[in-house]
A and B are shown apart, each in its own frame.
Chain A
Amino acid sequence: MTEITADEFVGRGNKEGADLFREWFDGLAEHAKRGEGAAYVFVMGSMAELLHVFDFPLVLPEITSLQTAVRRVADKYLAEAEDYGYSPDICGYVKADMAVQLRGGDHPMGRIPKPAIAVMTNACNTYIKWAEIWERMYGTPLFVIDVPATRQAGGQFQPGSADFERDRKYVEAQIRELIPLCEKVSGKKFDIDRLRETLKYANDMNTGWKRVLELNKSKPSLFNAVTDGTVYLGVSNNLRGTEKGSTFFKNLVEEMEYKAAHGIGTQIVEKYRLGFVGVPCYPIFRRFSEMFTEWGGNFVHSTYLNFASGGGSMGYEYDVNRPIESLAEGFLISVREAMDNMFHQDRVVIDWVKNYDLDGVVYHPIKSCRTVSTGLADGRRAMMAATDVPSLFIESDMMDKRVVSEAQMKNRADAFFEGLASRREMAKISS
């Protein structure tokens, strides 16, 4: 048996992820070229498991929009949407996508097909407003899967309780209403065995995702939750419920287990283990990360990986013997988890401080996303009251360079690390 070398494993996830990402965009461009429509879905509850049964290609406009920022053309797209009438104060993702639509699908990574159907949850209310724009532009049928989330902190309804069953039934009823709409739009009959198959692939991805996040408790940590993690997140969304997605996550777990077993960390010497709360700063994605890695800080976890995976991070496994009922249950639990990571993020972070041995927490609220950002200052106060871990609070945006003040952010990050260093020195002296 041939010994597997580190070269074959280390970095494989990033490379495969990038390739799959490219392939996804190329596939969308092919669909657009043939004039075929796509299912437009969102990262928090994409319903990919069901939509793949009808062979819909999936467009995730949050991802196509953020790519305009990563590729440094977002400013042009935002300006076009604002010229059309959209306010500077609304979500940048919406505006970038609006410009893509006004341009007939023109996108820096390839042409995006038009929406044939839009499926969204209420995990973010902007999803609904956003889809209403397509409804007006194209007459696209919309379907909101209304997912009841945690009503108040600590009050999550658990499976088996009457309250949970009430919520689950509501979600299931909606899924059963979505199926005929999918049949109508796609012209294909629903096939429950295909649903079983996509659920099985989604199970592989969910369990893999959970394991990968757990493995990052290793010291040194194995990947950077903001940079590498975003690549994995892309696959978890774009290829959810597919064989390729399943294979990717199996491989990723293999890579991370290898790295953990051999003490191989990220590309930096890890001095500080950090938690990240919010959404990354895509207009200066690399520089943003460097503000932390230059000081030896690595993000070992982020709420982003939890909520933007639609709660896939909690590793829910569907029961393929009762596919629709289980899809409803898993959907409810996972999307609720996504929401809890935004609204009750203090609880999540306090847990990480202990379990991931954090040295600090970075809060990055953004102008574009009030779902994620509204409660972060208050959540930070709660985290600081409950733990002894320092935190940094920097505001910018995930799309709009006009509100990204790089020099100011860098100053704040530098001061944060100086504080961490001095704290460490003091601890040495007092011990």
Chain B
Amino acid sequence: MTNHLFGTWQNQSLEGIFAECRELAENADFPTVKRWRENGGKVLGHFQVYFPEEIAHAAGMLPLKMRGAPVEPTHSDSRFGSYLCSILKTSLELVLSNRVELDMFVTHPICDAARNLAAVWGRNYSYPCQILYLPQNANSKASAEYLCGEYERVKGDIEAVTGTKVTDEALRNSLIVYNENRRLLRQLYEIKRKQPWLVTGFEAYLLMTVGGMILREEHNELLKTAIPLIEARPAKRQDKIRVVFEGGFCEQPPLDLIRAISQSCYIVDDDLLIGLRWILEDVPLEGDLLMNMADAYLEKSSYSPVQHDARKPKEKMLLQRIADSGAEAAIITAAKMCEPGLEDQVTYTKALDEKGIPYFVGEFEENMTSFDSMEIQLETFTENLIFS
């Protein structure tokens, strides 16, 4: 089966690569998934934030990050009530409108709304639609073993769907691919932190976001091509405020919003699609591989409002992220109706107030189309900081 689901980025200039990534990211028809299916491939759709994609990859499936799309929820509206975030509706819309065809769907108890998706999906589709329980008591001594058992269970379901046994060798090979992917993304973020004038937050996001729609082998190739081009870029340092963007762990802000922020600020770190960068170190390739993955999820991982871990008080983690990236300010956002995000917004702002770190508070929706007001507010915010 071909690894090139998204061939158009090849032999392009850096700007051309960004343009191709943008085109793919905005294409709600998910052409890479269609291409995969045309070749007989099976697809596992998994809802945000983190999913151990290596297991599906090892079984020869395409793991697809279900994180909504800029589409109208015309079919899915009747499956949901009001007062819900947009990503739920548009994710379901993608399958109801036949833009995306799946063979398996997995959601997580990351929030009260997302957890319902397994049942909603399951009432509408006959393929396996389930919850993967990622531990919400990350501090229990029993959590890693439990999570390993969950991974084992999901592996069994994946094997049943694909008819392919996930061998240790296949899983090890997938871990090698994913370890490399995480290393490359860390490299990209290192550039953002150290030389943000070489790659804007928007450009880095474009490179990263397509990773959820293609095989990681291809994403690795893309990153290995783009990163040296970024490093060699003759870009000049500008007098922009360095900010951390917080609030993009699940529903994603519209591309134009990220672009607008990137125009006035250097986004030196963020939690956009944090699931792609959840594991902070290489997962060891020896021993019990599923246990290694479970251990990495719990012990060598990032933070987000949807994981409770007494060792990771969110506001302290944010302050650390700000310190590590040398940011001068923070943009604290939440998706509309995102309860975990909105609740932590208060926690973050109180901590930032206490430390005297300036911040900008905003709310977004994936389908929003007007950014004028936010752009003006943001410009005022950054000008105040520059001239204060």
Chain B proximity mask over A374-385: 1 for CB below 8 Å, otherwise 0: 111111011000
Tell me, yes or no, whether B376 is within 8 Å of chain A by CB. Answer: no
6 A-B pairs (CB sep. < 8 Å):
A90-B339, A128-B136, A144-B308, A173-B141, A370-B84, A374-B80
Knowing A173-B141, A377-B81, say if A125 contacts B110 (CB, 8 Å): yes
CB distance from A230 to the nearest CB of B (A): 21
Mark each residue of chain B from 192 to 209: 1 if its CB lies under 8 Å from any CB of chain A, else 0: 000000000000000000
Q: Which residue of the partner chain, among B83, B109, B150, B346, contacts A86 with CB atoms under 8 Å?
A: B346
Check: B149 CB closer than 8 A to any chain A CB: yes
Contacting residues, chain A, for B238 (C-beta < 8 A): none
- The answer to whether A132 and B342 have CB atoms under 8 Å apart is no
Q: In the complex, are the beta carbons of B79 and A378 less than 8 A apart? A: yes
Contact between chains at A377 and B112 (CB < 8 Å): no
Q: Which of A86, A87, A126 has the most CB of B within 10 A?
A: A87
**Quick one: given A144-B308, A151-B130, A153-B123, are A378 and B80 in contact (CB under 8 Å)?**
yes
Q: Which of B153, B306, B336 is in CB contact (< 8 Å) with A89?
A: B336
Contact of B120 among A124, A133, A371, A375 (CB under 8 A): A375
Q: Is the CB of A144 within 8 A of B342?
A: no
B123–A177 touching, CB < 8 Å: no
Bound CA–CA A279/B149 (angstroms): 34
Chain B residue at smallest Cβ distance from A378: B79
CA A373 – CA B112 in complex, angstroms? 9
On whether the beta carbons of B339 and A370 are closer than 8 Å, the reply is yes
User: A370 to B112, Cβ gap below 8 A?
Assistant: yes
How many angstroms from the CA of A151 to the CA of B115 in the assembled complex?
Answer: 10
- Residue A146 contacts which of B137, B305, B306, B350 (CB distance < 8 angstroms)? B137
B11 at interface, CB cutoff 8 A: no
Interface membership of B142, Cβ < 8 A: yes
Q: Which residues of A contact B137 (CB under 8 A)?
A: 122, 143-146, 174
Taking Cβ atoms with an 8 Å cutoff, the residues of A that contact B are: 84-87, 89-91, 94, 122, 124-126, 128-129, 132-133, 136, 142-146, 148-149, 151-153, 155, 163, 166, 169-170, 173-174, 177, 342-344, 346, 365, 367, 369-371, 373-379, 381-382, 393, 395
Distance, CA A132 to CA B309, complexed state (A): 10
What is the CB-to-nearest-CB distance from A129 to chain B, in angstroms, rounded to a whole number?
5
The interface bits of chain B over 67-84 (1 if a CB of A lies within 8 angstroms of the residue's CB, else 0) are 000000000001111111
Interface residues of B in 107-148 (CB under 8 A from A): 109-113, 115-116, 118-120, 122-124, 128-133, 135-137, 140-143, 145-146
Q: Is the CB of B345 closer than 8 A to any CB of chain A?
A: yes
For A163, the chain B residues whose CB sits under 8 A away are 153
Beyond A125-B112, A173-B142, whether A376 also contacts B81 by CB under 8 A is: yes
Contact partner of B119 among A125, A343, A370, CB < 8 A?
A343
Q: Is the CB of B129 within 8 A of A378?
A: no
A378 touches which of B113, B123, B314, B334 (Cβ 8 Å)? B123
Which residue in chain B gives the minimum CB-CB distance to A130? B343
Does B48 sit at the interface, judged by CB under 8 A?
no
- A155 contacts B136, CB within 8 Å? no
* Known contacts A122-B109, A378-B79, A379-B123; A170/B308 CB under 8 A: no
Q: Are B131 and A86 neighbours in the complex by a CB distance under 8 Å?
A: no
Distance A169 CA – B306 CA, assembled complex (angstroms): 24
B residues near A174, Cβ cutoff 8 Å: 137, 140, 142
CA distance A379 to B132 in the complex (A): 21
Which of the residues B81, B123, B343 comes within 8 Å of A395, measured between beta carbons?
A: B81
CB of A72 to closest CB in B, whole Å: 23
Are B118 and A122 within 8 A (Cβ)? no
Q: Which of B79, B146, B153, B308 contacts A377 (CB 8 A)?
A: B79
**CB nearest neighbor in A for B340:** A129
A373 in contact with B339 (CB, 8 Å): no
Contact B79 A381 (CB under 8 A): yes
Kindly name the residue among B120, B124, B136, B137 whose own CB sees the greatest number of chain A CB atoms within 10 A: B137
Interface residues of B in 230-246 (CB under 8 A from A): none
For B, the interface residue count at a CB cutoff of 8 angstroms equals 58
Whole-angstrom distance between the Cβ of A397 and the nearest chain B Cβ? 9
What are the residues of chain B within 8 A of A395 when measuring CB–CB?
81-83
- Which of B110, B119, B136, B342 contacts A90, CB < 8 Å? B342
Instruction: Tell me if B310 counts as interface (CB < 8 A to partner A).
Output: yes
Q: Is the CB of B133 within 8 A of A374?
A: no
The answer to whether A149 touches B131 (Cβ under 8 A) is yes
Contact A151–B131 (Cβ < 8 Å): yes
Choice from A86, A152, A166, A370 contacting B343 with Cβ under 8 Å: A86
Bound-complex Cα distance A132 to B304 (A)? 13
Contact partner of A151 (CB less than 8 A), chosen from B80, B118, B343, is B118
Interface string of B40-57 (1 = CB under 8 A from A): 000000000000000000
Nearest CB on B from A302, distance (A):
17
A370-B111, A371-B112, A374-B120 known; A90 and B343 CB under 8 Å?
A: yes
B347 and A136 contacting across the interface, CB-CB below 8 Å:
yes
Contacts of A149 in B (CB 8 A): 131, 133
B298 to chain A, nearest CB (A): 12
Whether B142 and A170, one on each chain, are in contact in the complex, defined by CB atoms closer than 8 angstroms, is yes
Is there an interface contact between A343 and B142, defined as CB atoms closer than 8 Å? no
Task: Give every chain A residue within 8 A of B131 (Cβ-Cβ).
Answer: 149, 151-152
Contact of A346 among B81, B123, B350 (CB under 8 A): B123
Residue of B nearest to A343 (CB): B119
- Provide the residues of chain A in CB contact with B149, threshold 8 Å: 166
B337 at interface by CB-CB < 8 Å: yes
Q: Given the complex, which residues of B lie within 8 Å of A129, measured CB to CB?
A: 305, 339-340, 343-344
User: Given that A374-B113, A395-B81 are contacting pairs, would A152 and B118 also be in contact in the complex, using a CB cutoff of 8 Å?
Assistant: yes
The reply to whether A377 and B78 form a contact with Cβ atoms under 8 Å apart is yes
Q: Which residue of A lies closest to B123 (CB)?
A: A382
For residue B141, which residues in chain A have a CB less than 8 angstroms away from its CB?
173, 177
Give the chain B neighbours of A151 by CB distance below 8 A. Answer: 118, 130-133, 153
- Please measure, in the bound complex, the distance between the C-alpha atom of A105 and the C-alpha atom of B183, giving whole angstroms: 50
- B382 CB within 8 Å of chain A: no
Q: Given the complex of chains A and B, what is the CA–CA distance between A2 and B305 in angstroms?
A: 62
If A91-B339, A129-B340, A152-B118 touch, whether A381 touches B82 (CB-CB below 8 Å) is no
CB of B297, distance to nearest CB on chain A (Å) = 14
